[in-house]
Amino acid sequence: MIVIRPLQTLEELHACERLQKEIWGFEDISVVPHHLLLTTIKNGGVLLGAFEGEAMIGFVYGFPGIEQNRVKHCSLMCAVVSERRFQGVGYQLKLKQREAVLAQGIELITWTFDPLVSSNAHFNLHKLGVISNRYERNLYGDMRDRLNAGLETDRLTVEWWIASPRVRRRLDFAGSVPKGDLAALGEVINQTEERDGFLVNRDYSLARTEPKLLLEIPYHWREMREQNMPLVREWRQVTRAIFERYFAQGYYATDFLVFEHLGQKRAFYLLEKSQREALLNVVLT
């Protein structure tokens, strides 16, 4: 049984330091230290740990911030040890984070993630119901951890409007699968093909105007990073151009869909041209 509760003691904060090293491969200089964790949780921050027995297997951490004169919660880290990933622990942590932030009277949580990591995209957009229209180039510069070394740290900044009808409905159906076939969901921006075992772009358009568009990215991103870094960098440049162009034209990333096709998994962002208010008030099905 997984128990999620606030971290408070110095021993627990030191355990959080150790998990940062284990999960991300952080050097000491990159770890959020226990004294900073302590200061933020004493001043409105939220730090929750996931426990299995006595062992802490994950945590989520964030703190209040201000954007456009509105108070929000900045979620900095959410992580689970490798042997317990993809088993719902991260999802439970985010739900508890949502409860804690709502109790503070805050309705917006923001964070960033690498838009080429398909598992994170699916978790954030499809399961939690975030939206995004902000692409940030090389946001963190050169990072020292093993997951980011050697690649520019482009990120999507996401908005999780935790009290909205959109999010409430999405959380009710977090495990649902996409309905309909690919062609019914939108026009595809980029044409892809398999080459030497990896997905590559053949062509893409920056001039589409349909209200709903699909952007395909590699489903097996980590394998590509390990075996073909030049192709990884090519994907970064292509998706950077696509996101920046369509966000500037009023599109939002609103979902991330995974389909089976000829025995292979294919992964697509759904981009919708809409106003934020309309997206947040829609009742998702």
* Domain of residue 52, CATH code: 3.40.630.30
Q: Pick from 269, 5, 282: which is nearest to 120 by CA? A: 269
In a domain, 116, yes or no: yes
Phi and psi (nearest 5°) for 129? 90, 25
Q: How many domains does the chain have?
A: 2
Its domain, for residue 253, covers: 182-281
**Residue listed under structure tokens 């019914």:** 184
What the block records as the tokens of 142 is 């050169």
Query: Which of residues 151, 172, 193 is at a domain's end?
Result: 172
Pairing of strands 70-80, 55-67: antiparallel
Residue 30 main-chain phi, psi, to 5 deg: -95, -10
Domain membership of residue 132 (yes or no) is yes
One domain for residues 39 and 133: yes
Tell whether pTM > 0.85. yes
Beta bridge partners of 201: 192
Question: Which of 172, 198, 230 is where one domain is finished?
Answer: 172
Looking at the structure, do residues 22 and 145 belong to the same domain, yes or no? yes
Are residue 96 and residue 223 in the same domain, yes or no? no
Quick one: which of 220, 219, 215, 218 has its CA closest to 269?
A: 215
Q: Looking at the structure, do residues 126 and 241 belong to the same domain, yes or no?
A: no
Sheet holding 46-52, edge to edge: 2-6, 46-52, 55-67, 70-80, 108-113, 155-161, 131-136, 251-261, 264-273, 212-217, 187-188
Digit-by-digit pLDDT tens for the chain (285 residues) are 899 999 999 999 999 999 999 999 888 888 999 999 999 999 999 999 999 999 999 999 999 999 999 999 999 999 999 999 989 999 999 999 999 999 999 999 999 999 999 999 999 999 999 999 999 999 999 876 666 667 899 999 999 999 999 999 999 886 565 655 676 788 999 999 999 889 999 999 999 999 999 999 999 988 898 899 999 999 999 999 999 999 999 999 999 999 887 778 999 999 999 999 999 986 554
- Contacts for 12 with CB less than 8 Å, ≥ 6 apart: 49, 56
pLDDT of residue 115: 97
Do 18 and 156 lie in one domain? The reply is: yes
**18 and 115 housed in the same domain:** yes
